[in-house]
């Protein structure tokens, strides 16, 4: 994957952690977290040591997506030991607070929670740390991009224009903070009917590829809108880990190989 974490930005990397890569989207609900989890597992399937940091403080979804619950252990009094699932390490606010506790923190507290989940977690040794970013392009995202020595960002978008417009804003944000955009993934790209086998472009199709070409950014691939992806996500049994021989798992592994 991408370059080591000791980036040109001068921000200190995390000892023993290779590259830190953000998975981002312009808005919520486009499948960013589902994609981040399956790409992380795809990277692991490709032979890398992988960690997944859920940076969505207000709406953590990594615990559910990986079927994890419980509290992380600590070592040396303060370092958190990441949770483990399907061969990857994971850390999320969801492990540290009760599920129904509303997060009413202001920006600085969010930043300190993120910093702690980055720097006070026993991540090492990792080849790559995938960060599931919060949706949108607000302050939290900007600060995150500024604080963390990101090797690059992967943008997840649906083909819809609205999602694309927002994803475009996301691109602008990463450019502003000099984080290279590694490419765009089009999620919910098309639908294959399980009954008749026919294909429907529910949200239109090809918008992200077209946009990527226009912006001269790599287009990393298309993920279909697929019942099995939704069901395995909700069940905490991500498709790349539990159905590695499926065509969908292959799609994620291929995209992971392009990061
Ligand atoms: P985000 O992180 O962008 O808010 P999520 O990953 O939580 O989005 O996904 C939103 C919903 O869409 C979830 O129910 C998830 O299971 C579903 N989903 C995501 N990607 C796909 C896909 N390719 N096919 C079917 N369902 C999907």
Instruction: Identify which of 5-9, 58-62, 120-124 has the greatest average pLDDT.
Output: 120-124
Q: Is residue 157 lining ligand 1, measured as CB closer than 6 Å?
A: no
Confidence of residue 51 (pLDDT cuts 50, 70, 90): very high
Helix axes 207-215, 161-176, angle to 10 degrees: 30
CA of 34 to the centre of ligand 1 (A): 5
The domain segmentation of the chain, as residue ranges, is 17-258
CA of 117 to the centre of ligand 1 (A): 24
Whose CA is closest to 233, among 62, 98, 73?
62
Q: Residues 20, 151: contact at Cβ < 8 Å?
A: yes
Confidence of residue 214 (pLDDT cuts 50, 70, 90): confident
Of ligand 1's listed atoms, the one at least distance from the Cα of 30 is: 3
At 79 the pLDDT is: 93
CA distance 147 to 55: 13
At 4 the pLDDT is: 47
Domain 17-258, CATH among 3.40.190.10, 3.40.50.150, 3.40.50.300, 1.10.730.10: 3.40.50.300
Whose CA is closest to 65, among 256, 259, 242, 251?
242
* Model confidence at 7: pLDDT above 50: no
CA of 218 to the centre of ligand 1 (A): 22
CA of 250 to the centre of ligand 1 (A): 18
Q: Is residue 38 lining ligand 1, measured as CB closer than 6 Å?
A: no
Q: Choose which residue among 233, 236, 239 to substitute to test ligand 1 binding: the one with the highest number of ligand atoms within 8 A of its C-beta.
A: 233
At 6 the pLDDT is: 45
Q: Is residue 229 lining ligand 1, measured as CB closer than 6 Å?
A: yes
ipTM of the complex model: 0.99
pLDDT tens figures, 222-250: 999 999 999 999 999 999 999 999 999 99
Written in H, E and C, the secondary structure of the chain is: CCCCCCCCCCCCCCCCEEEEEEEECCCCCCCHHHHHHHHHHHHHHCCCCEEEEECCCCCCCHHHHCCCCCCCCEECCCEECCEEECCEEEEEHHHCCCCCCCCCCCHHHHHHHHHHHHHCECCCCEEEEEEECCCCCCHHHHHHHHHCCCCEEEEEECCCHHHHHHHHHHHHHHHHCCCCEEEEEEEEEEEECCCCCCEECECECCHHHHHHHHHCCCEEEEEEECHHHHHHHHHCCCHHHHCCCCHHHHHHHHHHHHC
At 142 the pLDDT is: 76
Q: Residues 24, 138: contact at Cβ < 8 Å?
A: no
Q: Which residue has the tokens 């909700």?
A: 234
At 124 the pLDDT is: 96
pLDDT tens figures, 127-180: 999 999 988 776 667 777 777 789 999 999 988 876 677 777 778 888 888 889
Annotated binding site for ATP: 26-33
CA of 10 to the centre of ligand 1 (A): 35
């Amino acid at each position: 994957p991408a370059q080591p974490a000791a980036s040109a930005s001068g921000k200190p990397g995390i000892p023993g952690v290779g590259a830190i890569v953000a998975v981002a989207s312009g808005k919520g609900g486009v499948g960013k977290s589902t994609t981040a989890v399956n790409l992380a597992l795809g990277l692991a399937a490709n032979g890398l040591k992988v960690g997944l940091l859920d940076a969505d403080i207000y709406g953590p979804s990594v615990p559910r997506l990986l079927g994890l619950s419980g509290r992380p252990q600590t070592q040396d009094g303060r370092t958190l030991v990441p949770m483990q699932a399907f061969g990857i390490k994971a850390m999320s606010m969801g492990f540290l607070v009760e599920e129904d506790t509303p997060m009413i923190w202001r920006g600085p507290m969010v930043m300190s929670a993120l910093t702690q989940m980055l720097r006070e977690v026993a991540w090492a040794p990792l080849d790559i740390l995938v960060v599931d970013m919060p949706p949108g392009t607000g302050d939290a995202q900007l600060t995150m991009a500024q604080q963390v020595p990101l090797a690059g960002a992967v943008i997840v978008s649906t083909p819809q224009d609205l999602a694309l417009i927002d994803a475009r804003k996301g691109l602008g944000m990463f450019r502003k903070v000099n984080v290279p955009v590694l490419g765009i993934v089009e999620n919910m790209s098309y639908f294959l009917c399980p009954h008749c086998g026919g294909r429907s472009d529910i949200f239109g199709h090809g918008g992200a590829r077209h946009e990527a070409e226009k912006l001269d950014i790599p287009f990393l691939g298309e993920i279909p809108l697929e019942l099995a992806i939704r069901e395995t996500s909700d069940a905490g049994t991500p498709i790349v880990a539990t159905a590695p021989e499926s065509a969908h798992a292959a799609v994620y592994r291929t995209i992971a190989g392009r990061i």
